[in-house]
Amino acid sequence: MGEYFLRRLVRIALVWLGISLITFFLLRLTGDPARNVLGELATQEAVEQYRRQEGLDRPLPEQYLKFVSGAIVGDFGRSLRYQQPILPIILERLPATLELAAASLFISFAVGVPLGIIAALKKDKAIDFFARGLVLLAQGIPNFFLAILLILLFGVTLRWLPTGGRGTLQHLILPALVLSFILLPLTVRVTRAAILDVMNQNYVRMARAKGMRENSILLNHMVRNASLPILTILGVQAASLLGGSIVTETVFSWPGVGRLIVSAIIARDFPLVQASVLIIASAVVVVNFIVDILYGVLDPRITAG
């Protein structure tokens, strides 16, 4: 376990270095970062002053080292728009984004896993076709379009739920539902396939032959073995979940990091954009690391090999 843990840690650190490299060069993609930040209309003196003040006149490797070491201790520089350090601005929005992500994750797994299991057990029955139809639907509809439809139905026509903002549980339902449609189809699909896969394994037949109760077989043999591929979804889809939250937050005026990025882009607040993208991508890396570790816990064969 120790060596496996260490190997994953090194890999994760390397990936994070790559991420920081790309976010570092994002600002430098189209030439002069000082000009990008201050805009075309800034005077030459202002640009020069900004360059000195931010250390942009130093060699690139030195700038990168400063950027990375700052990022590690949480120093992302100052936002142009808010005129204050970036970290507190993002930390203030982070709980809202995490709340939304956690809620949609809960919906995806609480609905998707049982639905996938039932669809597999009742293959080619009505419930299976329902599950497969839902998967197709959820994959085909653009997320923001679904959001508009739900706002129209539950917010405007039926007036059951608020159409935007954050606060009560009612505010959370629609955005979480919309965001869950990113993970839900894959969860159903993978669970169904995984259960179908383990259903005819020898150990399941063995358990049945020795008279084990169907429910125990399902829980102890099938679901446990199917849990690895389901867990993989979380790792693979963490990026799309957080990316999707940008759109969902914008549609529902949800005060999270995603909406912060969009407004920062519109305000051309590049340091804030840079820092937010780095933090979101770092979150994806952390989730992947946790998934890797859980993998090792759930399947001892992985850490041994």
Residues near another protein, by CB under 8 A: 11, 14-15, 18-19, 22-23, 26-27, 29-30, 36, 136, 139-145, 148-149, 151-152, 156, 236, 239-240, 242-244, 246-247, 250, 261-262, 265-266, 268, 270, 273-274, 276-277, 280-281, 284-285, 288
CB of residue 276 to another protein, shortest distance in Å? 8
Alpha-carbon distance 165 to 170, whole Å?
A: 10
d(CA 194, CA 295): 16
* Residue pair 214/137 in contact by the 8 Å Cβ criterion: no
Cβ-in-10-Å burial (0-12, 13-18, 19+) of 278 comes to buried
Residue 85: strand pairing partners: 78
Cβ of residue 216: shortest distance to another protein, in angstroms? 31
**Nearest to 115, CA basis, from 56, 180, 165:** 180
Q: Which is nearer to another protein, 1 or 137 (CB)?
A: 137
71-74: long-range contacts at Cβ-Cβ below 8 A with a sequence spacing of 24 or more?
71/20, 71/275, 71/278
**How many Å apart are CA 45 and CA 65, to the nearest integer?**
26
Identify which of residues 156 and 209 has a Cβ nearer to another protein in the complex.
156
The number of CA neighbours under 13 Å toward the Cβ of 305 is: 6
Give whichever of 169 and 266 is closer to another protein, judged by the CB atom.
266
The distance of closest approach from Cβ of residue 83 to another protein in the complex, given in angstroms and rounded to an integer, is 20
If the CB atoms of residues 218 and 279 are measured against another protein, the closer one turns out to be 279
CB of 25 to another protein, least distance (A): 10
Shortest separation between residue 295's beta carbon and another protein, angstroms: 16
Looking at the Cβ atoms of 71 and 218, the one nearer to another protein is 71
Which CB, 31 or 61, lies closer to another protein?
Answer: 31
For the CB of residue 68, give the shortest distance to another protein in the complex, in Å.
14
